[in-house]
Structure 1
Amino acid sequence: MSKLVKTMLISLVIIILVGVVGAVIVLNVLEKKDKDGEQSIDEIVEYSYQTPEITTDLSDGSFVRIQFQIITDGKHAREELSKREFQVRNILIKELAKMDEQEFKTGLSEVEDTLKLELNELMTEGTIQDVYTINKILQ
């Protein structure tokens, strides 16, 4: 091969290597998630699902109206969760029916944990990251 062809091939290989290294750096810098895997607040808002207000009775005859913000790990999980709204309602009604007024006042975090656990068992397109109570009224 001539000297010109060798120089062109070496130059082409160097340009390709620089492009690949540059692409890897750009993709890692522009990654949406933090180094520890935490979601940004924008992702949390984008991937969250707000349940409608649910009104049900407790075991002692008291009534409660409650609403949750459920954080998923992605767009597909949020879409699946919105389709599973009837299952969310079912889980909440069953859990709240076991509680009396005092248990409800002190055990709301247990309801959130149970909802998260049971929904994760049902989900096929992602997972539930967290459940927040955003509205509650006890009557």
Structure 2
Amino acid sequence: MKGKLVTTMLVIIAAISIVAVAGVFLYFNLTSDEAETEASEKLSASELVELSVDTKELTTNLADKGFAKVQFRIQVDTQKAKKELETRMFQVQNSIIYELSGTKSEELQGPEGIQILEGELQKTINDYLEHGEVVRVYTTQKIVQ
């Protein structure tokens, strides 16, 4: 009886701890995303252009035998990051083609599909950059068939 009570209390304490850790984790991740969004919204149009790089228009096959024609504008946080991004553009284009080649046409439909693609590209491009980071990836052209 006493052993079951101790076991039950430990399980309850562990569950409360897990929920608390998850809550703290979510709180900090959500507030950092909001701060990044606010920072990118505070830039003037000319500042945004100065910290952005356009990709070439790319056409590639999709996983379900469809194709996509896309173009992106990638915003970074510093001029040094912009110069590095321009130098690494071949890697960025490769990442876009790679990401799209594993994507089906229906996954690119609607705002959610675009947001997922932009988020994946942002993570991938950030892995390449040694100086600065990608603040946001904007889809400037998208045709899916």
TM-score, normalised to structure 1's length? 0.69
Q: CA deviation at 1:68?
A: 0.2
Counterpart of 1:132, as a letter, is Y
| 2:86 matches 1:68 | no
| 2:129 matches 1:123 | yes
Over the matched positions of the two proteins, sequence identity in percent amounts to 38
Helix, strand or coil at the partner of 1:82: helix
Unaligned runs of 5+ residues in structure 2 are 1-37
RMSD across aligned C-alpha pairs, in angstroms? 1.5
Counterpart of 1:116, as a letter, is Q
Helix, strand or coil at the partner of 1:124: coil
Counterpart of 1:68, as a letter, is F
Counterpart of 1:125, as a letter, is H
Q: CA deviation at 1:85?
A: 1.0
Partner of 1:135 in structure 2? Answer: 141
Unaligned runs of 5+ residues in structure 1 are 1-35
When Rg is computed on C-alpha atoms for both structures, the one with the higher figure is 1
| 2:127 matches 1:113 | no
Q: In structure 2, what is the Cα distance between the partners aligned to 1:64 and 1:121?
A: 24
Number of aligned pairs? 104
Helix, strand or coil at the partner of 1:43: helix
Q: CA deviation at 1:57?
A: 0.5
Q: Which has the higher helix share?
A: 2
Q: In structure 2, what is the Cα distance between the partners aligned to 1:84 and 1:43?
A: 21
Which stretches of structure 1, 4 residues or more, deviate above 2 A after TM superposition? Answer: 36-42
Helix, strand or coil at the partner of 1:70: strand
| 2:107 matches 1:103 | yes
Q: Which structure 2 residues correspond to residues 1-139 of structure 1 after superposition, within 5 A?
A: 38-106=42-110, 107-139=113-145
Q: In structure 2, what is the Cα distance between the partners aligned to 1:47 and 1:103?
A: 29
